[in-house]
Structure 1
Amino acid sequence: MTWDMLNIIGTIAFAVSGVIVAMEEEYDILGVYILGLVTAFGGGATRNVLIGVPVSNLWNHGDLFIIALITMTVVFVMPSIWFNFLKHWTFFDALGLAAFAIQGALYASEMNHPVSAIVVAALLTGSGGGIIRDVLAKRKPLIFREEIYAMWAMLGGLAIAYGWGQEPWQLVVLFIAIVVLRMLTVYFGWRLPRRKLKS
């Protein structure tokens, strides 16, 4: 049940964030659906390639595709006044980041991969879809900005790799922690160190 809930939460959250970005960029309805689907499933596909799982396994999740399509349709047709609630779409991005980072780490852990692979699986599953979304929308991906983003996914993967998450309540705590840390990053403007080369 926990695994299924992570899948559903991550799919819905990233589908919503993909649709909002597409509408901000004034994409037509086909672009909205494509960007939403890529955001929801791109991270999982990338993870599968790197940890040795056939990408075709994604097609076994037909129920998730239906959930994503329903979610995208609802967001696309909802009254404009409701977008005052959705305009801060980074919250949905944080939900997707947390859910998919944990799910990716669990996936790699169950395959008995080493710690490094588990952390990378968490990173790619949590942020891969967002990277593809931003590239298609001609935006600088969040993971490459100075704003802290991918580090929270990696810390979640590290926690799973070292035994946290054996019980459902531990996964819930980890999920909430990643979401809260991501939103605190946005609120306080936490930044990783950066260096700009000057001519």
Structure 2
Amino acid sequence: MTYLLMFDLIGCAVFALSGAIIAYQKRMDGIGVIVLAAVTAIGGGTVRDLLLGVPVFWVSQPSYIYAIIFSSLVAILWINSSKKLPEKALEIADAFGLALFVVMGTAKALGVGVPPLTAVIMGTITGCFGGMIRDVLANEIPLIFRKELYAACTIAGSSAYVLLLPYLSPMMSAAIAFTIILVLRLMAIRWQLALHVFKFTDE
């Protein structure tokens, strides 16, 4: 197993966990848990691959499905045993999955020969679209549209990967980009950092 596949599976499992947490919060049944976990984990990558015109990654690689099922079962056992989720559990799980998927999505886009700007867009799609689908199905405002920084974190990290790759190894570039996204996202959650463009009278 290559390190790229390993990190991709870890990101898949973490994103699936965030989907399962939403399913619990919405009091969904077992099918709802699997569906939300799956769309969160593979939704963004599926959209990316369709746009790039390459085979959809999970169709021929069942490891992703196994990771989703395993993560869903872990979430069910954890929630049923603890009875209470740690505060910000969803946001933190989402932040880790976001950082992993953006880097992997950017790397894959560059690997098929797209321009750097397109690779940044594909990385952002990989990280954000699964969570968007999850939140829409759960009748929630997607995290990407809420007040804390979200898409800006993915663009910063993906851009860093593209800029560093000519000078550093892929592994080092990926590690730095991952750290940038994760730190920015966690800072945004902790201090509610946002890019305000409108002024509202109730603020």
**Is the structural similarity TM-score above 0.5?**
yes
1:169 Cα deviation from its structure 2 partner: 2.8
Q: Which residue number in structure 2 is paired with residue 147 of structure 1? A: 148
Q: Which residue number in structure 2 is paired with residue 118 of structure 1? A: 119
| Cα distance per residue 1:81-101 (max 9 Å; x no partner) | 264447522111001100000
Q: Pick from 166, 186, 190 the counterpart of residue 187 of structure 1.
A: 190
Cα distance in 1 between the residues matched to 2:164 and 2:178? 15
* SS of equivalent residue, structure 1 residue 139: coil
Mapped contact 1:51–1:117 kept (Cα < 8 A): no
Q: Which residue number in structure 1 is paired with residue 21 of structure 2? A: 20
Q: Which residue number in structure 1 is paired with residue 179 of structure 2? A: 176
Q: Which residue number in structure 1 is paired with residue 75 of structure 2? A: 75
**Matched ranges for 1:32-43 at <5 A:** 32-43=33-44
Change (3 A) 1:177 1:163: closer
Cα distance in 2 between the residues matched to 1:76 and 1:87? 17
Q: Which residue number in structure 2 is paired with residue 63 of structure 1? A: 63
1:152 Cα deviation from its structure 2 partner: 1.2
Q: Give the counterpart letter for 2:71 in structure 1.
A: T
Mapped contact 2:9–2:63 kept (Cα < 8 A): no
5+ residue gaps in structure 2?
none
Cα distance in 2 between the residues matched to 1:72 and 1:34? 10
Q: Give the counterpart letter for 1:67 in structure 2.
A: A
Backbone CA RMSD of aligned residues: 1.9
**What TM-score, normalized by structure 2, do the two folds share?**
0.89
Cα distance in 2 between the residues matched to 1:86 and 1:110? 38
Mapped contact 1:16–1:72 kept (Cα < 8 A): yes
Cα distance in 1 between the residues matched to 2:173 and 2:84? 33
**What TM-score, normalized by structure 1, do the two folds share?**
0.91
| Cα distance per residue 1:48-106 (max 9 Å; x no partner) | 12222233x42122012112101101211333426444752211100110000000000
Q: How many residues align?
A: 197
Cα distance in 2 between the residues matched to 1:59 and 1:98? 23
